[in-house]
Structure 1
Amino acid sequence: SEALFGEAEPETKMISMEKAEEAKLKAKYPNLGSKPGGSDFLRKRLQKGKYFDSGDYNMAKATKNKQLPVASVEKTEITGDHIPTPQDLPQRKPSLVASKLAV
């Protein structure tokens, strides 16, 4: 059991040394560590490059307002989700002028 107590003493010395060093630092730099998240300068600097261009800014602004454009009710046009078959395609209109090659 003496070995366990012998190991605990250096730990308490290390902790007390750390506390003393922290006290010295706080005496030397009183504003150090007062604000979580860094200084105002750093926060402003990080905020500066938040948007890549005006499009990113406008997209972020639109999501804040949550005013997304309302989609129209069920479009009848076929979109890229559907693979057309010959039956799905509309009939081709005959041309008004007959080709001279078709004579």
Structure 2
Amino acid sequence: MSEETEDSRTLETAVEEQKDVENKVICLERAEEVKLKAKYPHLSGKAGGSDLLRKRLQKGQKYFDSGDYNMAKAKIKNKQLPTAQTEKTEITGDHIPTPQDLPQRKPSLVASKLAG
């Protein structure tokens, strides 16, 4: 019984120490914020940077070349297309196929035109 109580006490003290450290970090961050606001009072009203940066971000993404543009466009199209279901009868490399395992080929239109 005494070992369990000692373990729970050490756990409680560790949790309390962690909370104290977190409180000190939060206090330090707030103190730094107060210092910065005192040093730069004109920046406290704006949130999110300069107007120039905001305008550039609103224009949209710029691409280095047409390849980057086409790759981004293809990613968008791939997200919209549903994935095709694979056939369950399809052989996927479990064994070496024999001519009897392969499906019959469709007759070629070119071969029938040449024969006739």
TM-score by length of 1: 0.40
Greater C-alpha radius of gyration: 1
